[in-house]
């Protein structure tokens, strides 16, 4: 997962703000255009996102809501990675809306701060982002994650752009990969969870996300090759937990490093990100 070692490694490799920004800019342009056939529903432009806020268990949850056209859609709770809401995540949420979903890009740090905190991942990595977010991340527990997911699901079900009969999916990256795993256990309407290079999915003590899988839900767990190298037994624990729960789960190690799905990350790998994106759309098509 994203940690101090990764940040130090990226610094040693000389990845500065300009190189991060070039990757993010190119990736954002690609992400906003239909690439796979499953994105054909998004050929027209998505309506401009709207800023939203609503009551949550720890204060006022804020975020941005993306939906295309006037029809109703299955809903998605989209949790950003450790660097929070920013242009790269907006581009990804917009692309998902163009594929036919009503997307809430939610601020996981709402208990402490509102809105965007970093311009991009380079800003996070180069300007003390790790130390800044550490106390905010310390508030995340399985119980607070469940409560936040339930609040987001309830809000989405009240939106005119959402078809409540289709259900809700949830996805997370890096630290919020565990949010996606916990989501279906938080609210009956959440029928799918997708974790991309997620951390904290298998915990040695206390409540662990991999033990909270729901029998009638669908899961996608995309693991980075470097994360797998550090904890090779985790994929087996996840597969065993899915089998024990009777849950539908696709668990795969990708030939890419942690962060490969995120447009402004130094490890962004467009080919493998597109493959993960296609599997995400397949998950939601099957579950919602």
**Using an 8 Å Cβ cutoff, are 186 and 179 in contact?**
no
**Using an 8 Å Cβ cutoff, are 171 and 92 in contact?**
no
The answer to whether residue 236 sits within a structural domain is yes
**Using an 8 Å Cβ cutoff, are 100 and 280 in contact?**
no
Name the 3-class secondary structure at 10. Answer: helix
DSSP β-ladder status, 168-173 and 190-196: parallel
**Using an 8 Å Cβ cutoff, are 49 and 90 in contact?**
yes
Token readout for 188 is 């009956």
**Using an 8 Å Cβ cutoff, are 82 and 174 in contact?**
yes
**What CATH number corresponds to the domain at position 111?**
3.40.50.1820
- Domain of 77, in residue numbers: 4-42+56-287
Token readout for 131 is 């130390």
The answer to whether residue 248 sits within a structural domain is yes
Q: What is the tally of structural domains in the chain?
A: 1
The answer to whether residue 84 sits within a structural domain is yes
pLDDT tens string for the chain (288 positions)?
555 566 555 544 444 443 444 444 444 444 443 333 344 344 345 568 999 999 999 999 999 999 988 899 999 999 999 999 999 999 999 999 999 999 999 999 999 999 999 999 999 999 999 999 999 999 999 999 999 999 999 999 999 999 999 999 999 999 999 999 999 999 999 999 999 999 999 998 888 999 999 999 999 999 999 999 999 999 999 999 999 999 999 999 999 999 999 999 999 999 999 999 999 999 999 999
The answer to whether residue 155 sits within a structural domain is yes
DSSP β-ladder status, 59-66 and 50-56: antiparallel
Beta-bridge partner residues of 63: 52, 106
φ, ψ for residue 131 (rounded to 5)?
-65, -35
The answer to whether residue 70 sits within a structural domain is yes
Residue 286's CB is within 10 A of a number of other CB atoms, namely 13
């Amino acid at each position: 997962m994203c940690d101090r070692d990764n940040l130090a490694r990226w610094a040693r490799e000389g990845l500065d703000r300009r190189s991060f920004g070039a990757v993010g800019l190119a990736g954002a342009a690609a992400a906003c255009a239909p690439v796979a056939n499953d994105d054909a529903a998004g050929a027209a432009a998505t309506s401009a996102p709207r800023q939203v806020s609503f009551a949550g268990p720890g204060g006022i949850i804020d975020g941005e809501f993306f939906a295309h056209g006037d029809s109703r859609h299955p809903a998605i709770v989209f949790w950003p990675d450790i660097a929070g809401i920013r242009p790269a995540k907006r581009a990804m949420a917009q692309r998902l809306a163009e594929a036919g979903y009503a997307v809430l890009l939610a601020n996981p740090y709402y208990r402490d701060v509102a809105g965007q905190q970093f311009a991009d991942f380079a800003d996070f990595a180069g300007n003390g982002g790790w130390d800044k977010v550490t106390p905010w991340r310390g508030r995340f527990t399985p119980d607070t994650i469940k409560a936040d997911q339930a609040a987001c699901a309830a809000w989405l079900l009240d939106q005119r752009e959402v078809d409540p009969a289709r259900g809700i999916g949830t996805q997370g990256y890096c630290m919020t990969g565990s949010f996606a795993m916990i989501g279906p256990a938080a609210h009956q309407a959440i029928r799918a969870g997708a974790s991309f290079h997620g951390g904290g999915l298998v915990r040695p003590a206390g409540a662990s996300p991999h033990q909270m899988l729901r029998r009638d839900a669908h899961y996608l767990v995309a693991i980075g090759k470097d994360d797998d190298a550090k904890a090779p037994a985790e994929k087996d624990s996840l597969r065993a937990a899915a089998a024990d729960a009777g849950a539908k789960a696709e668990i795969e190690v990708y030939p890419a490093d942690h962060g490969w799905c995120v447009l402004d990350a130094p490890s962004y790998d467009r080919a493998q990100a597109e493959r993960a994106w296609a599997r995400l759309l397949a998950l939601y098509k099957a579950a919602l």
